[in-house]
Chains A and B, each alone.
Chain A
Amino acid sequence: MSTLRLSDAGIAIDDRSYGEEITLESWRDGVRPEAGRFAISIPNTEDVDALGEIVRFFSAVILDFPSFQDGRAYSQARILRERLNFTGEIRARGAVLCDQVLFMARAGFDAFEIGAGDADGFRRALSAYSVFYQPAADSSVPIRDLRAAKRAAA
Chain B
Amino acid sequence: MYRYDQYDETLVKERAAEFRGQVARRLSGDLSEEEFKPLRLMNGLYLQLHAYMLRIAIPYGSLSSAQLRRLAHIARKYDKGYGHFTTRQNIQFNWPALIDVPDILDDLAEVSMHAIQTSGNCIRNITSDPYAGAAAGEVDDPRIWSEVIRQWSSLHPEFSFLPRKFKIAVTASEEDRAAIKVHDIGLKLYRNEKGDRGFEVLVGGGLGRTPYIAETVRKFLPEKHLLSYLEAILRVYNQHGRRDNKYKARIKILVAADVEDFRRQVDEEWLKSDRERLDAPLSELLRIRRHFAPPRFETLDDESAALAAARGEYGEFDRWVATNARPHRQAGYAIVNISLKPIGKPPGDIAADQMEAVAELCERYSFDEARATHEQNLVLPHVKKDDLFAVWRGLDDAGLATANIGLISDIIACPGLDYCDLANARSIPVAQKIAERFADPDEAADIGELKIKISGCINACGHHHAGHIGILGVDKKGDEFYQITLGGSGADDASIGAITGRGFASGEVVGAISRLVEFYKENRKTGERFLDAYRRLGPDPFKEVLYVDASTV
Q: How far is the CA of A146 from the CA of B284 in the complex (A)?
A: 11
Instruction: Note all chain A residues with C-beta closer than 8 A to B238.
Output: 71-72, 74-75
Q: Which of A12-20, A86-94, A126-134 lines the interface with chain B?
A: A126-134
Q: Is the pair A135, B160 in contact by a Cβ cutoff of 8 Å?
A: no
Instruction: Note all chain B residues with C-beta closer than 8 A to A144.
Output: 151, 280-281, 284
Q: Is the pair B152, A71 in contact by a Cβ cutoff of 8 Å?
A: no
Q: Is the pair A133, B14 in contact by a Cβ cutoff of 8 Å?
A: no
Q: Which of B3-11, B208-216, B399-407, B444-452 lines the interface with chain A?
A: B3-11
CB closest chain-A residue, reference B283: A148
Q: Is the pair A69, B284 in contact by a Cβ cutoff of 8 Å?
A: no
Q: Which of B17-25, B294-302, B517-525 lines the interface with chain A?
A: B17-25
Q: Is the pair B283, A151 in contact by a Cβ cutoff of 8 Å?
A: yes
Interface string of B248-282 (1 = CB under 8 A from A): 00000000000000000000000010100110110
Chain B: interface residue total (CB-CB under 8 A): 39
CB closest chain-B residue, reference A66: B243
Q: Which of A28-36, A55-63, A99-107 lines the interface with chain B?
A: A99-107
In the complex, how many angstroms separate the beta carbon of A75 from the nearest chain B beta carbon?
A: 5
Q: Is the pair A143, B157 in contact by a Cβ cutoff of 8 Å?
A: no
Residue A71 contacts which of B8, B22, B160, B278 (CB distance < 8 angstroms)? B160
Instruction: Note all chain A residues with C-beta closer than 8 A to B5.
Output: 147
CB closest chain-A residue, reference B234: A75
In the complex, how many angstroms separate the beta carbon of B11 from the nearest chain A beta carbon?
A: 5
Q: Is the pair B162, A71 in contact by a Cβ cutoff of 8 Å?
A: yes
Given contacts A130-B14, A131-B11, contact A136 B281 (CB under 8 A): no
Instruction: Note all chain B residues with C-beta closer than 8 A to A99.
Output: 22, 38-39, 42
Interface string of A73-101 (1 = CB under 8 A from B): 01100100011000000000000000110
Indicate whether B221 reaches chain A with its CB closer than 8 angstroms: no
Instruction: Note all chain A residues with C-beta closer than 8 A to B280.
Output: 144
Instruction: Note all chain B residues with C-beta closer than 8 A to A82.
Output: 274
Indicate whether B155 reaches chain A with its CB closer than 8 angstroms: yes
Q: Is the pair B281, A69 in contact by a Cβ cutoff of 8 Å?
A: no
Q: How far is the CA of A82 from the CA of B160 in the complex (A)?
A: 19
Report which residue of A74, A102, A132, A146 has the largest number of chain B beta carbons within 10 angstroms of its beta carbon: A74
Instruction: Note all chain A residues with C-beta closer than 8 A to B239.
Output: 47, 72, 75
Instruction: Note all chain B residues with C-beta closer than 8 A to A74.
Output: 157-161, 238
In the complex, how many angstroms separate the beta carbon of A114 from the nearest chain B beta carbon?
A: 15
In the complex, how many angstroms separate the beta carbon of B33 from the nearest chain A beta carbon?
A: 15
In the complex, how many angstroms separate the beta carbon of B283 from the nearest chain A beta carbon?
A: 6
Q: Is the pair B161, A69 in contact by a Cβ cutoff of 8 Å?
A: yes
Indicate whether B506 reaches chain A with its CB closer than 8 angstroms: no
Indicate whether B330 reaches chain A with its CB closer than 8 angstroms: no
Indicate whether A68 reaches chain B with its CB closer than 8 angstroms: yes
Residue A68 contacts which of B11, B154, B159, B161 (CB distance < 8 angstroms)? B161
In the complex, how many angstroms separate the beta carbon of A133 from the nearest chain B beta carbon?
A: 5
Indicate whether B121 reaches chain A with its CB closer than 8 angstroms: yes
CB closest chain-A residue, reference B160: A103
Q: How far is the CA of A84 from the CA of B397 in the complex (A)?
A: 64
Interface string of B40-77 (1 = CB under 8 A from A): 00100000000000000000000000000000000000
User: For residues 365 through 380 of chain B, which have their beta carbon under 8 Å from a beta carbon of chain A?
Assistant: none
Residue B287 contacts which of A71, A124, A147 (CB distance < 8 angstroms)? A147
Q: Is the pair A70, B161 in contact by a Cβ cutoff of 8 Å?
A: yes
Q: How far is the CA of A124 from the CA of B20 in the complex (A)?
A: 13
Q: How far is the CA of A83 from the CA of B277 in the complex (A)?
A: 12
Instruction: Note all chain A residues with C-beta closer than 8 A to B287.
Output: 147
User: For residues 110 through 129 of chain A, which have their beta carbon under 8 Å from a beta carbon of chain B?
Assistant: 124-125, 128-129
Indicate whether A49 reaches chain B with its CB closer than 8 angstroms: yes
In the complex, how many angstroms separate the beta carbon of B63 from the nearest chain A beta carbon?
A: 22
Q: Is the pair B284, A133 in contact by a Cβ cutoff of 8 Å?
A: no
In the complex, how many angstroms separate the beta carbon of B43 from the nearest chain A beta carbon?
A: 11
Indicate whether B311 reaches chain A with its CB closer than 8 angstroms: no
Instruction: Note all chain A residues with C-beta closer than 8 A to B38.
Output: 68-69, 99
Q: Is the pair A133, B272 in contact by a Cβ cutoff of 8 Å?
A: no
Q: How far is the CA of A101 from the CA of B278 in the complex (A)?
A: 22
Instruction: Note all chain B residues with C-beta closer than 8 A to A49.
Output: 272
Q: How far is the CA of A99 from the CA of B39 in the complex (A)?
A: 8
Instruction: Note all chain A residues with C-beta closer than 8 A to B11.
Output: 129, 131-133, 143
In the complex, how many angstroms separate the beta carbon of B80 from the nearest chain A beta carbon?
A: 31
Indicate whether B364 reaches chain A with its CB closer than 8 angstroms: no
Q: How far is the CA of A130 from the CA of B161 in the complex (A)?
A: 21
Q: Is the pair B235, A75 in contact by a Cβ cutoff of 8 Å?
A: yes
CB closest chain-B residue, reference A136: B157
Instruction: Note all chain B residues with C-beta closer than 8 A to A104.
Output: 157
Q: Is the pair A78, B158 in contact by a Cβ cutoff of 8 Å?
A: yes
- 18 more A-B residue pairs beyond the given contacts A83-B274, A135-B277, A144-B281, with a C-beta to C-beta distance below 8 A: A69-B121, A69-B161, A70-B161, A74-B159, A74-B160, A74-B238, A75-B235, A78-B158, A103-B157, A103-B161, A125-B18, A129-B14, A129-B155, A133-B11, A133-B151, A133-B152, A144-B284, A147-B287
9 sample A-B contacts, Cβ–Cβ < 8 Å, listed by A number: A47-B239, A71-B159, A71-B162, A75-B158, A129-B11, A129-B18, A131-B11, A132-B11, A137-B157
Residue positions of A touching B, CB distance < 8 A? 47, 49, 68-72, 74-75, 78, 82-83, 99-100, 102-104, 106-107, 124-125, 128-137, 143-144, 146-148, 151
